[in-house]
Every structure is written in C-alpha cells, then in structure tokens.
C-alpha cells in the first residue's frame, strides 16, 4: 500500500479513492475500458483488490466516477479562462486556445477514451451530456455572432477543434495549431457581405 500522509481518516480515504481513479484513468487511456478491472486498477494504485471494493462496488461504478472526473478539470480551466471575456469572437478564441492547451497536457485523453469505449448506456449518455455542457460556451458564442444555422455551424466548428486537439496530442505545437484553426473558424463565421467596392464591376453596380 502506498504511503499516504493525511490528517484524518476522511482525508486518507479521499486520497485512496483519488489514487484508484487516477490508476483507472491511466489503464483506460492505455488499454481501453475493458481493461479497467478491480484487479488491474488495484495493482496499478498499489492497493489490494479487496481495497478496491471499499470505494467502488464495481468496475462500472469506477467508470462512472471517471466520467465525472474527466470533465471537471477541463470545465474549471475553461471557466477561469473565460471569466473576464465577454465579446463572442474573443470567447471563441479563448475557448479554442484553452482546449488546445489542455490537449497538450493530455487532459482530454480520458474523455476521448470514454467516448470511444463500449460503456454501459447510462455512462455513455452521461459522457455525451458532459461533453455538450463543456462545449456550451463555444456554441453560445457562435449563436451570439448570429451565424446562420448556428446549431450545425457549432458542430462544424467543434469538428475543427477536435481535429486541432488530435494534432496537438500527436505533438504539433498548440499555438501554431490554434492560429490555423482559428483562422478557419473566423473565416467560416464571417457572414457573407455585399460585393466589395474594390471588386471588378462593383462601381457599376452602385451607380
């Protein structure tokens, strides 16, 4: 059993539980949801298998805990980054850059593994619910810009962000990827305008 320094029994149990969740998350990312078993997780955390059941009644319960934990830190980081940003276009920029910074730290890998896993239906539904909640600030900013078909536009922008995150997770520079992704997003969210006066024939059209 790993040495844990805690002032109270409650703190000790909280640390043990956190150790199991972290061990399970590592197993999930490396080997998939099927490998998240009491024996594997207990061994990874340095705890006896019997200790596992003091905190979680089953592997499914542990996966449910990972579902919640996997979004908590990302949500908190996004909230902090956006707290003083009001203008919709600026909120989109900050959201995307924050997502890619988190991706560079590997913080999205558990959520991605969960979304690709063969989870119990209630767990999978919860993953998608939390994913929608996490992306709500981006979707709201897009809607405030008045983009046409904002629900579809939001999904398309989300696809760009997901592709950018994958690139970062494979080693690409987060700032460079963010610059390119945001250039595409800004272009896509720019509403069509009337023919510009510097284009051929424009002057005739306005006479």
Does residue 132 sit in helix, strand or coil? helix
Higher pLDDT, 201 or 13: 13
* 71 in the same domain as 52: no
Q: Please check whether residue 148 lies inside any domain of the structure.
A: yes
In the 8-state DSSP scheme, what is residue 6?
-
Q: Please check whether residue 196 lies inside any domain of the structure.
A: no
Higher pLDDT, 191 or 48: 48
- The C-alpha atoms of residue 100 and residue 162 are separated, in whole angstroms, by 9
Q: What's the whole-number mean pLDDT along residues 137-149?
A: 85
pTM: 0.76
**pLDDT tens, residue by residue, 59-92:** 888 888 888 888 888 999 999 999 999 999 999 9
Helices then strands, each counted (H, E), the chain: 10, 0
* 20 in Cβ contact with 41 (< 8 Å): yes
Q: H or E segment at 14? A: helix 9-31
Domain boundaries, position 16: 1-56
Q: Please check whether residue 197 lies inside any domain of the structure.
A: no
* 103 in the same domain as 39: no
Q: Report the first-to-last Cα separation within the chain, whole angstroms.
A: 84
* CA distances (Å), origin 58, targets 45, 69, 78, 168: 16, 17, 31, 34
* 34 in the same domain as 90: no
* 71 in the same domain as 39: no
Q: Please check whether residue 204 lies inside any domain of the structure.
A: no
* 40 in the same domain as 80: no
Percent of the chain exceeding pLDDT 70 equals 86
Q: What's 113's domain CATH number?
A: 1.10.357
Comparing 47-51, 61-65, 101-105, 189-193, which segment has the lowest mean pLDDT?
189-193
- The C-alpha atoms of residue 138 and residue 143 are separated, in whole angstroms, by 9
- Residue 6: pLDDT band by 50, 70, 90 thresholds? low
């Amino acid at each position: 059993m790993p040495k844990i320094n805690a002032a109270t029994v409650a703190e000790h149990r909280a640390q043990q539980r956190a150790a199991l969740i972290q061990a399970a998350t590592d197993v999930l990312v490396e080997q998939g949801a099927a490998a998240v078993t009491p024996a594997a997780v207990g061994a990874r955390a340095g705890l006896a298998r019997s200790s596992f059941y003091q905190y979680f009644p089953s592997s499914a319960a542990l996966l449910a805990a990972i579902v919640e934990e996997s979004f908590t830190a990302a949500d908190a980081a996004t909230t902090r980054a956006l707290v003083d940003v009001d203008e919709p276009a600026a909120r989109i920029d900050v959201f995307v850059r924050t997502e890619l910074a988190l991706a560079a730290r590997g913080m999205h890998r558990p959520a991605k593994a969960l979304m690709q896993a063969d989870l119990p239906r209630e767990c999978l539904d919860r993953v998608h619910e939390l994913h929608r909640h996490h992306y709500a600030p981006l979707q709201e900013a897009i809607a405030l810009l008045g983009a046409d078909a904002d629900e579809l536009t939001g999904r398309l922008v989300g696809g760009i962000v997901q592709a950018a995150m994958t690139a970062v997770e494979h080693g690409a520079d987060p700032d460079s990827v963010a610059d390119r992704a945001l250039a595409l997003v800004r272009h896509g969210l720019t509403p069509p305008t009337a023919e510009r006066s510097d284009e051929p024939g424009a002057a005739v059209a306005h006479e």
